[in-house]
C-alpha cells in the first residue's frame, strides 16, 4: 500500500499502479532506460499492471522479468477496456499513467491520473483527464518513489 495525505487535496491510499506501455513505458516498443529499476522499487508497495495493445509486439519480452501483470488488449475498444480494468481494481485504489487518447478514461477514473508527454507525444484528451502531467515516465514514477513531490504538486 502506498499512502500520502495531501493538504487541501485528499489522502491517497493506493494499491495498484496501472500503466500503458507504448508511449508511456516504451518508445517504439523499447522500454525506456531506468523504468525497470523504478518499477522494481515500486513493486514493494504497489501491484503493477501494464495494459496495452502492444503495437510493436515487444511488451511481453521487455517485461518478462518485471514484477508486473501484463494485459494485451485487442485493437478495438481499448479506452473502455482500460477503464473497466481500473474499475475492476477499484478506482479509488489506483494510480494510472498513460499518454494516449485510449488512456483518457482510466486517467480520469483513477484516484490519481498522471499523463506523460515524451517522444511519442500525448493526446490532449489524456492531458485534460490527468491530475498531473510529467515530461517523462521517469519523472512520473519518481513522484511515487518520492511522495513529497506529489504533495508539492497537488496541495492547495
Where in the chain are the domains? 11-154
Q: Which residues of the chain have pLDDT under 70?
A: none
Give the model confidence (pLDDT) of 57-70 as tens digits: 999 999 999 999 99
What's the gap between Cα 98 and its chain centre? 5
User: What is the predicted pLDDT for the residue at 124?
Assistant: 98
Q: Which helix (H) or strand (E) holds 30?
A: strand 30-31
Cα 52 to Cα 72, 74, 81, 95, 147: the distances in Å are: 5, 9, 10, 16, 26
Per the CATH hierarchy, to which homologous superfamily does domain 11-154 belong? HAD superfamily/HAD-like (3.40.50.1000)
Pull the grid cell for residue 69: 501483470
Helix axes 137-145, 35-42, angle to 10 degrees: 30
User: What is the predicted pLDDT for the residue at 119?
Assistant: 95
Answer yes or no: are the C-beta atoms of 26 and 62 closer than 8 Å: yes
Return all residues near 137 (Cβ < 8 A) that are at least 6 apart: 24, 25, 32, 35, 97, 116, 118
Phi/psi for 12 (5° steps) reads -100, 125
Cell 483527464, residue located: 129
Pull the grid cell for residue 29: 516498443
Amino acid at each position: 500500500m502506498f499512502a500520502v495525505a495531501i493538504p487541501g487535496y485528499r489522502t491517497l491510499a493506493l494499491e495498484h499502479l496501472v500503466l500503458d506501455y507504448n508511449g508511456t513505458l516504451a518508445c517504439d516498443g523499447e522500454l525506456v532506460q531506468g523504468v525497470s529499476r523504478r518499477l522494481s522499487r515500486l513493486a514493494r508497495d504497489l501491484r503493477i499492471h501494464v495494459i496495452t495493445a502492444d503495437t510493436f509486439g515487444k511488451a511481453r519480452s521487455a517485461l518478462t522479468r518485471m514484477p508486473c501483470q501484463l494485459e494485451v488488449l485487442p485493437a478495438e475498444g481499448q479506452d473502455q477496456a482500460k477503464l473497466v480494468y481500473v474499475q475492476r481494481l477499484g478506482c479509488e485504489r489506483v494510480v494510472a499513467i498513460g499518454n494516449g487518447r485510449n488512456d483518457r478514461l482510466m486517467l480520469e477514473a483513477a484516484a490519481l491520473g498522471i499523463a506523460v508527454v515524451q517522444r511519442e507525444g500525448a493526446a490532449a484528451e489524456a492531458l485534460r483527464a490527468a491530475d498531473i502531467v510529467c515530461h517523462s515516465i521517469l519523472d512520473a514514477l519518481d513522484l511515487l518513489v518520492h511522495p513529497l513531490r506529489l504533495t508539492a504538486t497537488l496541495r492547495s
